[in-house]
Structure 1
Amino acid sequence: SMRDSIFGNLDIYNEGKEFKISATEKDGKVEVVSLGKASHGARPSNGYNAISALFSFLTKVEIEDSKLKNLVNFFNEYIKMEYSGEGLGINFEDEPSGVLTLTIGKIECENKNVMFGFDIRYPVTFTKEAVIEEVEKRAKNMDLNVTVRSEKNPLYVPKDSFLVTTLMDIYKDITGDVDAEPVSIGGGTYARAVTNGVAFGALLKDQEDNMHQKNEYLELNKLDTWLKIYVQAIYDLAK
């Protein structure tokens, strides 16, 4: 019945969908493969989450195992293919940061237990407690447990601070990109290691953003521009 259920729904479910899912029978079992596209954890919408797609597909399959069925229902109810945490009630947003991002980064099966990990990057004016409270509330509805494996406090430096305005003035003067504005990103950088720092560069306006992608690169012909910017920044901040 599992085989008939999967193969009976596969074509229908993929019709008009972008899900990259295939199912094949092997040694009396059905193997379901979900393909995705990697993306930076701070910008999950630039990628394609294979785990979320797989669980969306599994909602069309008759599942007997109660624990797995619970997990599939949780995804279907609260995760779907979203990246903002809207289904979980945590699509928080503020002016400095923009909207929260949520990525399902990993799923593991061990001793018949299934564990999956969220990567949540929340806006700076909200608290991690507010995020966790909403997630736990919904997990409890599906008899699932939530554990915080690691956490980092957000870093925020106002754009009108001496540090940011100085760096922006230098960038604009050297590149001619006078309309540039500082941006808030969900990525974690070494700026967290100091008490008053921000990430500065090295992506110029005409460069492709391929951070954490395959074949990540920077052009050598930009070295002179970067060097001018950084030398001037060190000098102006030090004086």
Structure 2
Amino acid sequence: MDRLNQYLEQHRDQIVTQLQGLCRIPSVEGQPLPGKPFGQACDDALNYMLNLSSSLGFKTGNVDGYAGWAEYGEGDETLGILCHLDVVPEGEGWSVPPYEAVVKDGRVYARGADDNKGPTIASLYAMKAVMESGARFTRKVRFIFGINEETGWKDMAYYAQKLPMPDLGIVPDGVFPLINTEKGVVHFSIKKAFDEDDVRACPVISISAGTVANVVPEKASATLRLDGIDQDLLRAAAKAVAQDRKLIATMKKEDGVLHLLFEGKSAHGASPDEGNNAAAGLLLCLEKVLGRDSVASAIRLLSAQAIDTDGAGLQIKLHDDVSGDLTCNLGVLRYESGVLEAIVDIRFPITFDEEKDIRQNILSALSPCGFEVTKLHGHAPLHMPKDHPLIQTLLKVYEEQTGLEGYTVTIGGGTYARALKNAVAFGFSLPGKEGVAHQKDEYVEIDSLLLGARVYAHAIAALATDGVN
């Protein structure tokens, strides 16, 4: 066993323990506080990593609470390793507590264990292994820890305003072997406000589904007035939709109103077909029983246009040979106080234009009801040619350390690689492994954690040192 792999195996327990500590911080974006723009928990996660990095021998810095960095080495160029410490909300239905980081059956179970705290700890200890090897650094290596990756990337934007970005980089927040193409990402709010007469005319009191756009909502609920609804028709419609969409539907009368609930399966918004969207089921059910008033017509239009995972209903079913098909996820659905809003997460092929090919077509598709379509945030596509030296070096390391074939892939997910001019997502999940990011009972296999660390250690050595003896 070579020196790098030996160091990592010797520190296996320490790696797992530090990952557990990080995963026990529920770093979902919270209310801004002074010096903590993404809330207390995200700030706690950032300080955890900065303290750990300092204890391992890195220079560290905090960028006004927006991000942090840890650095080692010397040279005129900087290799960046960009990780994020924030997580999506835990959701419901876990078989273990989502923030206790339970070790069971060779796995660490926790929200964020796979996305992105496991890869973060693995890559940090990979760097520590290279530091301890005695290799001479020819480039500086700088970790950048973000805490707003899941909900807007304000962390990277702020960091880039304050400090120079690395010259090249790897992002341990995807899949192995290597991601050289990332589709464009954009989140749109589709919204319409109704007057009091419209609100009174519709039996729907409220609708609630989803919390963030980039997760397939596993629950969707509606509260309806009993007048104006044929309960037998609603019950039959709910049963039919549930069977067709692989959902669970329940109805309950309480305090003079009717509560309708659909339950499905969550998944990452970049792969909406891997989940069962409860919000889509709710819309399909309501359209079958509502009348022709203004609110009902808008709900019916959303049901017809906004639930297709290929974007067909919104007139954005797009494809190119480089990056494949567009995907669309209805991630959030709300109706409250006379305002109906859907938020969609769209991952589009790299040869298309966000405004001309996406937004304008959505406006056209929704024109019968006059919805407002507003961009919330987005990221431009990324593509790096397969023959780029960075890609060739990383694939060679991957093949040597895993014994598997190295090749490039395209994803719909967005990573911090887009924040640099010369970066790719490299790992962490191995080919054939189930996708668990953003799902209940998220986990990382400890053996995979160590394998990833070995790959990252040799990649760092290859890119930033004169070699490990």
The alignment's TM-score, normalised by the length of structure 1, stands at 0.88
Shift, 1:136, TM fit: 0.8
1:97/1:12 Cα in 2 relative to 1: closer, same or farther (>3 Å)?
A: closer
Alpha-carbon displacement from aligned partner over 1:46-79 (angstroms, at most 9, x marks no partner): 1111111100111211335412x12222123323
Q: Higher strand proportion, which one? A: 2
Q: Equivalents in 1 of 2:389, 2:317: separation in Å?
A: 31
Listed as ranges, the matches of 1:19-168 within 5 Å are 19-63=247-291, 65-67=293-295, 69-80=296-307, 82-129=308-355, 130-168=357-395
CA distance in 2, matches of 1:222, 1:9: 45
2:427 equivalent in structure 1: 201
CA distance in 2, matches of 1:74, 1:144: 10
Offset at residue 220 of structure 1 (A): 1.9
Deviates more, 1:208-217 or 1:120-129: 208-217
State the one-letter code of the partner of 1:219. Answer: E
Q: Alignment partner for residue 220 of structure 1, among 426, 435, 446?
A: 446
User: Structure 1 residues 131-140 or 153-162, which shifts more?
Assistant: 153-162
SS at match of 1:119: strand
**Aligned with 2:376: secondary structure?**
coil
Cα deviation for residue 90 of structure 1 reads 0.8
Q: 1:218 and 1:14 mapped to 2: Cα distance?
A: 32
Instruction: Give the direction of change, closer, same or farther, for the CA distance of 1:213–1:152 in structure 2 (3 Å limit).
Output: same
Tell me the distance in 2 between the aligned counterparts of 1:222 and 1:58.
Answer: 44
- Size of the aligned set, in residue pairs, is 236
Shift in CA distance, 183/134, structure 1 to aligned 2, threshold 3 Å: same
Structure 1 residue 15 displacement after superposition: 5.5
Q: Which amino acid aligns with 1:70?
A: S
Structure 2 residue runs of 5 or longer lacking an equivalent are: 1-227
User: Per-residue deviation at 1:12?
Assistant: 5.0
Amino acid paired to 2:326: L
Contact 1:6/1:23 (<8 A) preserved: no
CA 121–226 in structure 1, closer or farther in 2 if over 3 Å, else same: same
Percent identity among equivalent residues?
33
Instruction: Decide whether the 8 Å contact of 1:52 with 1:75 is kept in 2.
Output: no
Kindly tell me: are residues 217 and 142 of structure 1, through their superposed partners in 2, closer, same or farther at Cα, counting changes over 3 Å?
A: same
Is the alpha carbon distance of 1:235 and 1:95 closer, same or farther for their aligned partners in structure 2, counting shifts above 3 Å? farther
- Which structure is higher in RCO with an 8 Å CA cutoff and minimum separation 6? 2
Cα deviations by residue, 1:152-199 (Å, 9 ceiling, x for unpaired): 212221223222222112212221112x42111111222122221011
Distance in 1 separating the partners of 2:364 and 2:275: 28
**1: distance between equivalents of 2:299 and 2:264?**
18
Q: List alignment gaps of at least 5 residues for structure 1.
A: none
Change (3 A) 1:49 1:233: same
Letter in 1 for 2:382: L
Residues 222/18 of structure 1: CA separation in 2 closer, same or farther (3 Å cut): closer
Distance 1:38 1:223, change over 3 A: closer
